[in-house]
Amino acid sequence: MECGRRMIILAVDDEAPALKSLVGAIKNVKPEAEVYPFRDPVDALQLLESGLKPDVIFSDVQMFDMTGIQFAHRVKVINPHTNIVFVTGYKEYMMDAIRLHASGYLLKPVDEDRLREQFDNLLYPSASNPRGHKFYAQTFGNFEFFCDGAPVHFARAKSKELLAYLIDKNGAACTRSELLVNLFEEGGFGSDSTYLSQAFSVLMKTLKEIGGADIIVKSHNAYAVNTEKFDCDYYDYLKGDVKAINAYQGAYMTNYSTWSDLTGPQKYRS
C-alpha cells in the first residue's frame, strides 16, 4: 500500500522579489516538497478552506490587504495545528508570534541554515517528516495515525479507535474484557467478542499493508503497542519535550471523548 506524500509548504509575501527569494530558499532546503507561493493571503486562505492541509506556512508580517498576524489568526481557525513561521525584516513582531504559538520567526533575507533549523524544530511535528520513524500518532486534537505523512485509512472505525486506545495505554497490555467494556456499547452488537475480533483483524491487516504489523504486541487474551515503533506527540509530552508541551492546548483524542476525557495529558494536571 502506498502511504506517503510530500511535504506541503505555503509561502506568502505580497512583494514579488521577497516571495521569489523565500521560495528559492525553501526549494533549496526541501527540494522534494510541494511549495505553493502566494502574493495575496486571501488566496492562500481560500486554498486552506478548500481542504488543503499544509505542513508549514511561511508568511510575511507586513502586507497590504492583511497583516501576517491577521492571516495567522485566520489560519489557526481553519487548522489550529498548522506550523506558521513568520518571515520579516522587523524584530518587534516576535511577541505576537509567541502569543500565536507560531512555530518560528525568521528575519529577511532568509538564511538557509536558519531555515533548516526551523524545519528541524517545528512546533507541531510535521506528519510528512515524523521524528525518526515511518509512523506517527497524533493525539492532540483528533486522533490520526500517519504513515510517511499520509493519514492511514481503516476500513472499520472501531479498528482505528482500538489503535487509539492502545496508544493511550502507552505500551501497557489491555485485556479483551477491558476493551469490550470501554470501546463497545454494553448489551448491543458492539459488545460481542466476535466484533472485537473483527476490529482487531482489520487493524492488523491495515498495519501489515503499510509495514507496521510489529506495532501491535499480542499475548494471551491481551493487546498492547510497541512504543518504540512509532512517534507520538503524547509520548513526547510525557518525556517533557518542550515543543510537545506547548503544542498541547487542552484537546486530546477528541473524536473518542467517551473514554479519552479521563486520560491523556489532562490526568497529570493538578
Digit-coded pLDDT (tens) for 117-165? 888 777 766 655 445 568 899 999 889 998 877 788 999 999 999 999 9
Q: Which amino acid is at 177?
A: S
Specify whether the CB–CB gap between 244 and 255 falls below 8 A.
no
**Rounded to the nearest 5 degrees, what angle is found at the Cα of 262, between the Cα atoms of 258 and 265?**
125
Q: Which amino acid is at 228?
A: E
Specify whether the CB–CB gap between 48 and 79 falls below 8 A.
yes
Give me the phi and psi of 147, to 5 degrees please.
-125, 115
Instruction: Render 104-160 in DSSP notation, one character per residue.
Output: EEEESSPPHHHHHHHHHT-SS--TTS-SSSSEEEE-BSS-EEEETBEEPP-SSHHHH
Residue 252: CB atoms within 10 A of its CB come to 24
Q: Give mean pLDDT, residues 41-61.
A: 91
The Cβ-side half-sphere exposure at 99, using a 13 Å CA radius, reads: 8
The pLDDT of residue 28 is: 94
Q: Which of 43, 8, 39, 37 lies closest to 119, judged by CA?
A: 8
Helix (H, G, I), strand (E, B) or coil at 226: coil
Residue 186 banded pLDDT, cuts 50, 70, 90: low
Residue 195 banded pLDDT, cuts 50, 70, 90: confident
pLDDT tens per residue across span 101-126: 677 888 888 999 999 988 877 776 66
- β partners of residue 86: 59, 105
Instruction: Render 152-165 in DSSP notation, one character per residue.
Output: PP-SSHHHHHHHHH
Domains of the chain: 8-120 (3.40.50.2300), 135-268 (1.10.10.10)
- How is residue 110 annotated by DSSP? P
